[in-house]
Structure 1
């Protein structure tokens, strides 16, 4: 993210803090979809919980609107990601009964056949189930890096650790995810 984008988001946040509904909507439109996708992955596809995580993250951001430091160490998207990650982990700890996506959930799929859609849905369901079985920090690092596409420095800011720790978490997480996905394939 360049400085102009960062400044623009900070300006939108400041305007939203002053009650500008258009600025708040613009910031939600800009950051909300990616944050929702991340929250869905962190909650194993549990949409109501992911929506709660995103809503709470934005509420916390609105509370900070007046004192947001646009030149601070984190950009708004990174800060929201860190807050959402913590909220998702806390929610998962409170409700260890989270289950993978239920059968029949529809996924956006550009594939030409219904069979391809079913295969894709099954793969995503297996991925979500495997992600939920991973340690929380590894799951966060893998989802942020390989699903959401954040850079290692941004992930380090979100997880409040060093870049080397992110690299280690991501590598261990990818290995663990591969093991879990292989286990799932053997059981079928």
Structure 2
């Protein structure tokens, strides 16, 4: 690979790493598995870098699929020592930790494809066409998956407690951090 292509790839990874990690985490629900998924996707992306028209969309597709693959690995079915440890919030006067835990639990209860559609559309702010491209389906399917995912979240969280609209949800950034 040429030096300028390598530099462009590094800049891309630097600028996109945060959103790719969040997509992977929200897809699989585990930060360690999300890190592995992003790393695996970027390793596969590197040789194809020069040929891509939309590397951002391609990377999101690869990360989504890698995160799903991470949850299918047999070692993930075992309980880790961290599962027995309670999640304790350190100094959270606003009660946001409880809300983050509620949101995390609700997202985990949404079926994987619907969860991915909601994340792509409303958390990452992708268009319907881009969401359909990442999910490898038609636009109508992506739209219905996102709609059903939002409906499931509303049911689980209660519509009066959290705003679930068609707008990108900036407050989700704090909910999964």
TM-score bucket (shorter structure): 0.7 to 0.9
RMSD: 2.5
Query: Which residues of structure 2 form unaligned runs of 5+?
Result: 162-177
TM-score by length of 2: 0.75
Distance in 2 between residues matched to 1:154 and 1:141, nearest whole Å: 10
1:135 and 2:135 matched: no
1:60 aligns to 2:39 (yes or no): no
Structure 1 CA distance, aligned partners of 2:52 and 2:58? Answer: 12
Choose which of 123, 135, 155 in structure 1 pairs with 2:99.
Answer: 123
Gap regions ≥5 residues in structure 1? 1-16, 107-112
TM-score scaled to structure 1, two decimals? 0.71
Q: Deviations over 1:76-119 (max 9, x none)?
A: 111111111111112223335687x961367xxxxxx8311xx2
- How much has 1:23 moved relative to structure 2? 2.8
Q: Is the 8 A contact 2:41 2:59 kept in 1?
A: yes
Quick one: structure 1 residues 69 and 144, their matched pair in 2 at CA, closer, same or farther if it must change by over 3 Å? closer
CA distance in 2, matches of 1:144, 1:97: 29
Q: Cα distance, 1:60 vs. partner?
A: 0.8
User: Hey, what does 1:90 align to over in structure 2?
Assistant: 69
**Pairs within 5 Å for 1:139-158:** 139-158=115-134
Give 1:181 shift: 2.5
Q: 3-state SS of the aligned residue for 2:93?
A: helix
1:1-188 residue pairs with structure 2 within 5 A? 17-19=1-3, 21-44=6-29, 46-66=30-50, 68-70=51-53, 75-94=54-73, 95-96=76-77, 103-104=87-88, 114-116=92-94, 119-182=95-158
